[in-house]
Structure 1
Amino acid sequence: MSDESREFHKPVRRPAELFDRVYSAEDPAEVSRAAHSTAQALLSRVRDEPDADVVERLVGFTDQHGIDDIAELWSRSPATSLPGALWRLYLIQLMIHDDPGTAALLYERGRIELSSADDVVAGAPTPAGPEELVTLIDVILRGAFSGDFAVALERASAFCRVQAAGSTYIADDYEPTEADRASALTRRALRLADYGTDLATSAALWRRDALT
């Protein structure tokens, strides 16, 4: 399992050791080609022949199969590539589904503290509870497959920035009394901020037909 997936990882049907063995035996160049070709083929097929059932199966894929199957395809791809963007969308979805209560707490704090339009761009209701955030991230992922891909990436990017801000401020609250909790929240904030940047860059590349 790559470092990026550890923080948002939950038990899955396929053991992580299998993933490590598969990748250790593969040519990195072949893995990269496979990642890009599968991402392009998947997105093209769904967008060319939109089928609501197929889209819903893709949106609910990690709930049924975990994250390892997707990791085998896309986790080692560059951050600003088509497979890298899809990988980040799924990781964000997994983070929300796995602990919607914490996600809602971070989002609401970030929404209050940020003086930006990110909350509006992300599209969450005010206030956004756990169920609303689960619905939101599924809507964003659904839009990646059946709507404007760049808009979906931009919404996810804005979502990450709100979450990152909330995580940072709550980490500051915990610092005097629970240093370990504060450190974990700070690490989450940094990861989410990176995802926000990666997704925004990927959206800009997509609009220029340069995201591969």
Structure 2
Amino acid sequence: MTDDFHKPVRRPSETFDRLYAAEDPAEVSRAAHSTAAALLSRVREERDPDAVDRLVGFTSRHGIDDIAELWSHSPAKSLPGSLWRLYLLQLSIHDDPATAALLYDRGRTELRSSDAVVAGAPVPAGPGELVALIDTILRGAFQGDFAVALDRAAAFCRVQASGATHLADDYERTEPHRSTELTTRALRLATYATDLTAAARLWHREALT
């Protein structure tokens, strides 16, 4: 999904300490897992609404680079990998809420499952409603049931993947390049949905690290 969504990067002078300067992949992996666990546990223990607000709005203020440096290379079925996917999903909606709403609405009407209900968007869901929804899902990861947040994000991805797939079919004859882009996006969203669902199950078993 990284290729699909672009945002100017504004690098903060502080927020995430540079806990790894080493080139050793093992050190990078340990830092990613330790920072994700420490961040999540600290916010949950302190129950500070301001801290949650800062984390939910982090990419809007600072871009995605610092989070990417921390978590982007982590396995999908890990705590840092899950947080990374939640932030990428949020960024995709904030970057282009109109397209997100188009994909979601098409997917909601085409998908024969409860995913739209699980995701929790209103009907109809315009750009503003989807921005609010994804922020709510990310907020739930920091102050609610983490597995529920992952399951909602996964459902959201499946609805959007369905919408992208059906729109790709619509464009196949008239705009093949656009059709290919949408098909690629659908595949990535579907992969994210699978990863997030698996991570939610691991969290329930206290095995997501």
| TM-score, normalising length: structure 1 | 0.93
Report the CA distance between 1:155 and its aligned residue: 0.2
Show CA shifts across 1:138-182 (max 9, x none): 000000000000000000000000000000000000000000000
Report the CA distance between 1:26 and its aligned residue: 1.1
Residue 190 (structure 2) pairs with residue 190 (structure 1):
no
Partner amino acid for 2:85? R
Of all paired residues, the percent bearing the same amino acid is 75
- Structure 2 unpaired stretches of 5+: 12-19
Report the CA distance between 1:25 and its aligned residue: 6.1
| In 2: Cα distance, 1:46 partner to 1:26 partner | 29
| In 1: Cα distance, 2:23 partner to 2:192 partner | 27
Q: Which residue of 1 aligns with 2:116?
A: 119
Q: What SS does the corresponding residue of 2:2 show, helix, strand or coil? A: helix
> Which has the larger share of helix?
1
Residue 64 (structure 2) pairs with residue 67 (structure 1):
yes
Residue 162 (structure 2) pairs with residue 172 (structure 1):
no
Q: Is the 8 A contact 2:10 2:61 kept in 1?
A: no
Total equivalences in the alignment: 201
Q: Is the 8 A contact 1:9 1:67 kept in 2?
A: no
Q: Is the 8 A contact 2:120 2:133 kept in 1?
A: yes
Show CA shifts across 1:105-140 (max 9, x none): 000000000010000000000111000000000000
Report the CA distance between 1:8 and its aligned residue: 2.0
Q: What SS does the corresponding residue of 1:62 show, helix, strand or coil? A: helix
Partner amino acid for 1:30? E
Q: Is the 8 A contact 1:171 1:182 kept in 2?
A: yes
- Structure 1 unpaired stretches of 5+: 15-22
Show CA shifts across 1:58-92 (max 9, x none): 00000000000000100000000000000000000
Residue 124 (structure 2) pairs with residue 140 (structure 1):
no
Q: Is the 8 A contact 2:77 2:198 kept in 1?
A: yes
Q: Which residue of 2 aligns with 1:18?
A: none
| In 2: Cα distance, 1:28 partner to 1:104 partner | 38
Q: What SS does the corresponding residue of 2:178 show, helix, strand or coil? A: helix
CA RMSD of aligned residues (A): 1.2
